Amino acid sequence: MAVTGTGGNASGSGTDNYGVHCLTANCIQTTSTGILTVTGTGSASSGGTNYGVIVRTPGSITAAGGAMTITGTGGNSSGSNNRGVLVTGAAAVISNTGSGTISITGNGAGITNSGSDYGLRVDTGGIISTVDGNLTVSATGGGAGTGTANYGVYVSSTIKTTGTGNLSVTGIRGGGDTATNYGVNVAIANGFQTTSTGTITVITDTILLAQANNINSIGSLTIRPYTATSTVGVGAGSGTLGLTDTFLTYITWGTSSTLTIGGTTAGNIAINSASTILNQSVTFLTGGDITLATTALAHAGASAATLTMQAYGTITTTSAITAATSALTILLYSDFDANASGTISIGAGVQSNGGTITVQGGGGTISTASTFDNLTVVVGSNTITLGATFNDSGNLTITSGTFDVSATPYAANIGGNYSNSGTFTARTGTVTLNGSAAQALSGTMTGSSAFYDLTLTNSSGTVTSDCERTGWVAGVDFNAAATVTNNYTVATASVKVEYESGATYTINNMNWNGQAVGTRLYFRNSAITGTWLLNVTAVGNAQTKVSYINVSRSDASGGALIIASDGTNTDCGTNTNWQFDETLTLGIDSTSKDFGTILPGANPSDQTSTLTATSNAVNGYVIYAWSTQAMTNVRFGGVTLADWTGTNATPTTFSAGSNGFGYSTDDASLTGGTADRFTNGGAKFAGFSHTGPGDPVADRTAPATAATNDITYRLYPSNTQANGDYTTVVVYVITAAFP
């Protein structure tokens, strides 16, 4: 069915020249699923009140499931009230049942200073409704000059769906006085309403609301600008489409649904809101930028909710996002259209009360030290750079992109799990795992994502009752290999760490100290078979001492010996290249050396002792030597052979033609003076001291096993030296060297 009407007397001055006027019940009706089309155009008579389509009490236009389309255009008159579509009075109805849809297009008109030229007006008592079919309204106000109240849509009754149908209202303000012309003006509760499962979409550049539940959606609610790039102000934020804190109290949406403010064609969104809208789920969506400033955006709802910010451009927050009573899931998605034009700048705290916080899309900065909880970074090939110390009471997950602590660098403190599938740029910064419950580390922690300084302070978990895993609960659990290019510090009492069996942990240096016997650190393998692999670079004195640690199944053969020999540590077995016991030994190839019978002026061959030493002391060892007496004639005890004149500090060349008894060492890096003083330019000799502990003849500066040095003895008698057998005793003493 199609009905078309045009108001008459276009050239006159009369009023009430309607295109279509429905004044009786079911004046226009379809009783089956046929399509119904109504088109009305008001007259252009100068008197005004020339409606395109009017439904007046008790009139109704009804359909029984077929599509209904109504188009009303007000007369283009210099008079006022030239409305496109008017539904007025009790029982004035436009309705469709079943799955039937309604589409209403209303165009107000008017010239000169015409006013009150609504595109669509639904007065008190009037109703426009569908059940399961969608209801779509598009209305443009008319008017011109100084005309006022030229609304696109004005409602003082109800436009609604009662089933699964969705409601969409587009309101475009007319000409005339912009201060009083709104695209949408809702003056009554439930002016726009869905009562079952339907959603509501309101599209307008300007809106005026008057009381609670003006817009009442049982499902999701969307409010977005009509004109592309039109700005949106939320709360006290500045924008063409102004959604003040008061207006925000006048809208409702489903408890498990979402309020969406803006759209992909919208301009910048400025948020400065003290409203409680965040007690439910809210999305801010724009083709421009989003700024949050001045006032914290707070979630205090009893149920978990979601906050989403999606911007083709940049997201900037200088005011906090908070959650107090339940979890808030947060998505901050800049560069939403992925054209590399958007970034993110987080300059204030983002707290989710246990919900996940996701930074996605464009790169940018996090320049607040306020605590996050559960931050996820998903920025593709872009980079998030720290501009302040990073604190996260929950998880830090790098899904894609780079998380850079910056050249400063800033520390990162993490209270939950750490997972990296992108890149973590540590520079020279410190990462601290400081949680109070179990924390896991997974993903890439080597190569370009290696840590520089890694510190563990989490003392949660349960120690084992044996040397394996009985009763074991780790406080910190490595699920993959890791590299620490500087210092790996575990110096908090009672920290319990689990390492992945077969994974390699490459460390420059470490500081492991459980502080006391009752608060030892516990290191365990992830399985009761196999080992975790440890590769430490620092050797000997450069390696920080290990104290108060209980460790098992650690294979450190890939790096330096782990010095754990201060008596405070527990070897729980299957540990390789760990030194738990003090070892200090000195061997000599023979306890006697024979120059034969000494004859005047005859130089016997040199004699040599080979010393073999082992020490696990952090700084190695020093061997000292002294003789109990000068070389003395066995028969004539008062006859001695002079000591060589060189000293240990300044040894000298001992050539034929010189006389005396002395020694040389092949140690070219000897303590006690110039390191190569005995070897530089050929062997140099010194006379023995005759009191202990003597002088250094060999040493090592790091733990050593079976290290050897040769000590050479030289005896040259003078031409007047008494012949016979001569004797002395040389004493060697080894001393461990500690820091």
pLDDT value of residue 643: 97
At residue 503's C-alpha, the angle toward residues 502 and 507, to 5°, is 135
52 vs 48: CA distance, rounded Å: 12
Q: With beta carbons less than 8 A apart as the criterion, state whether 583 and 616 touch.
A: yes
pTM for this structure?
0.83
Question: What DSSP state is assigned to residue 261?
Answer: E
High-pLDDT (> 90) share of the chain, %:
89
The whole-number pLDDT of residue 365 equals: 98
The answer to whether 238 and 230 are in contact (CB under 8 A) is no
Q: For residues 261 and 230, is the Cβ–Cβ distance under 8 A? A: no
The better pLDDT of the pair 582, 359 is held by: 359
**Over 80: is that where the pLDDT of 687 sits?**
yes
SS3 content of the chain, % helix, strand, coil (to 5): 0, 45, 55
Q: Is the pLDDT of residue 27 over 80?
A: yes
Alpha carbons 337 and 559: distance in angstroms, whole number: 49
Q: What is the arithmetic mean of pLDDT over 400-406?
A: 98
In the chain, domain spans: 1-219, 232-410, 426-581, 585-737
CB of 523 within 8 A of CB of 543? no
**Is residue 101's pLDDT more than 80?**
yes
Q: What mean pLDDT comes out for the span 427-455?
A: 99
For 418, 500, 531, 555, 575, the CA distances from 511, given in Å and listed in that order, are 21, 20, 21, 18, 18
**CB burial of residue 138 (10 Å; 0-12, 13-18, 19+):** buried
The label of the residue with tokens 């294979």 reads 555
Average confidence (pLDDT) over 347-360:
96
* 3-class secondary structure per residue, 539-601: CHHHCCCCECEEECCEECCCCCCEECCCCCCEECCCCECEECCCCEEEEECCCCCCCCCECCC
DSSP state of 278: G
Paired sense of beta strands 631-633 and 726-727, if any: antiparallel
Question: pLDDT at residue 239 above 80?
Answer: yes
Mean pLDDT of 186-210: 98
Residues 516-540: what's their mean pLDDT? 96
In tens, the pLDDT along 690-712 reads 999 999 999 999 878 899 999 99
- Are 579 and 565 in contact by the 8 Å Cβ rule? The answer is yes
Nearest to 95 by CA among 120, 70, 121, 116: 70
Q: What is the pLDDT of residue 530?
A: 98
**If you write DSSP's letter for every residue of 481-525 in order, what string do you get?**
-EEEEEEEEE-STT-EEEE-TT-EEEEEEEEEB-SSGGG-EEEEE
pLDDT exceeding 70 applies to what percent of the chain? 99
Q: Are 547 and 510 in contact (CB under 8 A)?
A: no
pLDDT at position 129 over 90 = yes
> Tokens 């359909």 appear where?
63
Distance of CA 493 to the CA centre of its chain: 28
- The pLDDT tens digits for 419-436 are 999 999 999 999 999 999
Q: How large is the average pLDDT for residues 209-233?
A: 98
Is the pLDDT assigned to residue 616 strictly greater than 80? no
Query: Tokens standing for 669?
Result: 């890096």
| pLDDT higher than threshold 90 for residue 47 | no
The DSSP line for 56-98 is: ETT-EEEESSS-EEEEEE----SSS---SEEEESTT-EEEE-T
Q: What is the pLDDT of residue 114?
A: 87
Examine the pLDDT at 541 and tell me if it is beyond 70: no
**Predicted confidence (pLDDT) per residue in 726-735, tens digit:** 999 999 999 9
The pLDDT, as a whole number, for residue 739 is: 65
Residues 6+ apart with CB under 8 A from 697: 611, 623, 624, 625, 648, 663, 665, 667, 670, 709, 711, 732
Class in CATH terms, 585-737 = mainly beta
Instruction: Tell me the per-residue pLDDT of 270-296, one tens digit each, with 9 for 90 and over.
Output: 999 999 999 999 999 999 999 999 999
Nearest-angstrom CA–CA distance, 244 and 650: 91
- Mean of the pLDDT values across residues 166-179? 94
Q: Enumerate the H helices of 352-483 as residue ranges.
A: none
Give the C-alpha separation, 668 to 677, whole Å: 7
Over the stretch 135-146, which tens digit does the pLDDT of each residue have? 999 999 998 899
Least-confidence region, from 39-48, 52-61, 268-277 = 39-48
Q: pLDDT by residue (tens digit) across 62-73?
A: 999 999 999 999
Q: Are strands 290-292 and 258-263 parallel, antiparallel or unpaired?
A: unpaired
Q: Using the predicted structure, report yes or no on whether residue 59 has a pLDDT greater than 90.
A: yes
